Amino acid sequence: MAYQIRNAEPRNLLPEIDLLPEIQHRGSKLDVHLFGPNTYQGNIRDMQKKGFHSSQLPNISFSPATTSESISIASHGFKNFARPKIFNQSWLQEGYIVRAQEGVYANPPKDSQGKTITEEQGPQGLKSFLKKDKKVNGIYLMDNDFGFAPDESFRRGVQDTGDFLEGGLARVLEHTSEKEAEVFGKIASPKFYKRGVDVYGFDEAAQPVLGVLGLYSDRDLDAGRLIVNGSFWYGLNYNGFAFGVLRKTGEASHA
């Protein structure tokens, strides 16, 4: 019999990955890692790579947080974490939006090929997903954090924090049926931004355009104003940070 060495199998040593403190979001806990700085597409690619956290979570990957989840995550310890690390130095890639002629879609759904839907018309267009009975306080709130804020539901430009939080844009991003975006208020608070909020880059679009919603501090004003930027368009090379959420089996993915 041949003398054959039994070669050891290579160990699959995955890179170690830390998790933020567990985040409460609508009665559930989210396991989250901060990715970046990179383009949004680059951050999403990194989320999909396997990593090791612990014996309880030995082989994990992530999907991008929705705008609503991003708001909850950023608001958790905002003063000591998200504001100095992300908002004051870079920007938060909050999630996908589609700027259209009549308003803004947040967290647009995907088609059967897994491609983000950007067209409004047609049997599988964005408008086809909007149901009249899901219109609450002037905005549409659908499943999986998908929603639509008509132009008339929010103001553009510099405004008081209260006006912004009561507007449809803040509420659709937070995906709340309330008359004010309460969780968003923990970020946009006058304690942090005495000069209010600037809703920037939401001019009317002749054709629907896919983009990434950006949040950051106006560094020209010594971080005195929160910028809500809708002009970071898909595919542009703007590096920033994004939250990846560990999805449990059976949960919807927003990758």
d(CA 214, CA 50): 27
- Report whether pLDDT(200) > 90: yes
The answer to whether residue 19 is domain-embedded is: no
Q: Give the pLDDT confidence score for residue 34 in this predicted structure.
A: 97
| Cβ contacts of 157 within 8 Å, gap of 6 or more | 198, 199, 200
Q: Give the pLDDT confidence score for residue 204 in this predicted structure.
A: 81
R_g over Cα of the chain: 20
Task: Kindly report the average pLDDT of the chain as a whole number.
Answer: 92
Mean pLDDT of 215-227: 91
The answer to whether residue 255 is domain-embedded is: no
pLDDT-based confidence at residue 1 (cuts at 50, 70, 90): low
pTM of this prediction? 0.92
Q: Give the pLDDT confidence score for residue 255 in this predicted structure.
A: 44
Range of the domain at 79: 24-245
Mean pLDDT of 161-174: 98
Supply the DSSP symbol for 59.
S
124 or 236, which is more confident: 124
Q: Please say whether the dihedral angle defined by the alpha carbons of residues 110, 115, 117 and 122, taken in this order, is positive or negative.
A: negative
As a whole-number percent, the residues of the chain with pLDDT over 90 amount to 84
Mean pLDDT of 143-167: 98
The answer to whether residue 71 is domain-embedded is: yes
The answer to whether residue 13 is domain-embedded is: no
Mean pLDDT of 156-181: 98
The answer to whether residue 76 is domain-embedded is: yes
Mean pLDDT of 148-167: 98
- Report whether pLDDT(247) > 90: no
**Tokens 């054959």 belong to residue:** 4
Q: Give the pLDDT confidence score for residue 238 in this predicted structure.
A: 87
Domains identified in the chain, total number: 1
Candidate from 198-207, 217-226, 228-237 with smallest mean pLDDT:
228-237
- Report whether pLDDT(252) > 70: no
The answer to whether residue 3 is domain-embedded is: no
Q: Give the pLDDT confidence score for residue 253 in this predicted structure.
A: 46
The answer to whether residue 11 is domain-embedded is: no
CB 255 within 8 A of CB 61: no
- Report whether pLDDT(134) > 60: yes
